Amino acid sequence: MKQAIITIKNLSAEVEGRQILKGINLTIYPGEMHAIMGPNGSGKSTLAAILAGRDGYEITGGEVIYGGQDLLELDPEQRAAEGVFLAFQYPVEIPGVNSTYFLKTAYNEIRKHRRLPELDAMEFLTFVKEKVKLLHLPEDLLKRPVNYGFSGGEKKRNEIFQMAVLEPKFAILDETDSGLDIDALKIVSEGVNALKRPDNAQLVITHYQRLLNFIVPDFVHVLYDGRIVKSGGKELALELEETGYDEMIHAAAVPA
């Protein structure tokens, strides 16, 4: 039997005393793409943040097993080195830090962790220039500070570009579609699809069904009030588009 990439068991969490996640269960296997949909405030971004290791959340129950380890015990940088990647909903501008330098540092940290030789500046540049084409990003982006002065669409594409460079085993895309026009959405989606492999997995978090026209998930989960209230195949997203969150949630709210 295939081993899961990540297993989330009954995960509960609080922020400033308020219960946001109320027992999430989710198992993702290699080669799978899962989508989590849900209205604002359902806990989608909290789940993404907790998986990536952001401070400020208190885990009140459950566990997350990733590659046989307790993921929640690891620092964010350890998780990243182990292959977890979060594409940020709001990528951070870092003036003064050159994009190539930043990516090379990150890439080599991961190589070090995997006991692989680090790439020097020239080797890395050759490698990275290939990846830049994938996202239709201008090459001069590599010379600019990280996200600094980028348009909203460029920032989102830059997240997927970083994902292409760092080749994560498990990528979480937190509302990567928000704020994108249709062309940018297509480019981002193409990027994500191109990075899909039998040995990795993606968790796509979105508010809208629109993204799922371009990125076709294997499973769709509806998150509401800190719980997954319904799971299904890709058709669930379409159903949700037609009925809306309210109706589906009410229908699902009947305790099993």
Partner 1 sequence: MNNIIETEPNVAPAPKDEQLNSSHEALEISERNRDEPEWLLTARKEGFMSFDKLGLPTLKDEDWRFTNVAPIAKMKMAPVVKPEHHGLTEKLLSQFPFAALTGSQLVFVDGHFVPEFSSLATLPEGVKVMSLAAALATEPTLVEPHLCRHASSDTNAFTALNTAFFQDGAFIYVPAGETVAEPIHLRFISTAKEHGTTTHPRNLIVAGRDSRVTVIESHVSLSDAAYFTNAVTELVAEENAVVEHLKYQDENQQAFHIATVAAHCGRTSNVVTHSIALGAKLSRTNIFTTLAGEGLECTLNGLYLTRGEQLADHYMIVDHAKPHGASHEYFNGILADKSKGVFHGRILVRPDAQKTDAKQTNKNLLLSDDATANTKPQLEIYADDVKCTHGATLGQLNDESIFYLRSRSIPREKARRMLIQAFAGEIIDRVRCVAVREELDSLVWERLEQNQKIKIHP
152 binds partner 1 (CB under 8 A): no
140 binds partner 1 (CB under 8 A): no
Q: In terms of CB distance, is 56 or 198 closer to partner 1?
A: 56
Shortest Å, Cβ 120 to partner 1 = 18
What is the C-alpha separation between 206 and 178, in angstroms, rounded? 8
162 binds partner 1 (CB under 8 A): yes
53 binds partner 1 (CB under 8 A): yes
What is the C-alpha separation between 137 and 184, in angstroms, rounded? 11
Site string for partner 1, 101-120 (x = CB under 8 A): -xx-xx--xx--x-------
Shortest Å, Cβ 35 to partner 1 = 21
Give residues with Cβ within 8 angstroms of 49, minimum separation 6: 57, 86, 174
Q: How many residues bind partner 1 (CB under 8 A)?
A: 29
Given candidates 10, 41, 54, 138, which one binds partner 1 under the rule CB under 8 A?
54
What is the C-alpha separation between 45 and 89, in angstroms, rounded? 8
Shortest Å, Cβ 232 to partner 1 = 30
Cβ atoms 111, 131 nearer than 8 A: no
Cβ atoms 66, 5 nearer than 8 A: yes
Segment holding 29, helix H or strand E: none
Shortest Å, Cβ 116 to partner 1 = 13
Stretch that binds partner 1, among 1-9, 52-60, 150-158, 176-184 (CB under 8 A): 52-60
121 binds partner 1 (CB under 8 A): no
Given candidates 58, 69, 73, 97, which one binds partner 1 under the rule CB under 8 A?
97
Cβ atoms 101, 119 nearer than 8 A: no
C-alpha distances in Å from residue 197, one per residue of 49, 51, 100, 169: 24, 21, 25, 9
What is the C-alpha separation between 147 and 141, in angstroms, rounded? 9
Residues making contact with partner 1 (CB under 8 A): 52-55, 75-77, 79-81, 85-86, 88, 91-92, 94-97, 102-103, 105-106, 109-110, 113, 145, 162, 166
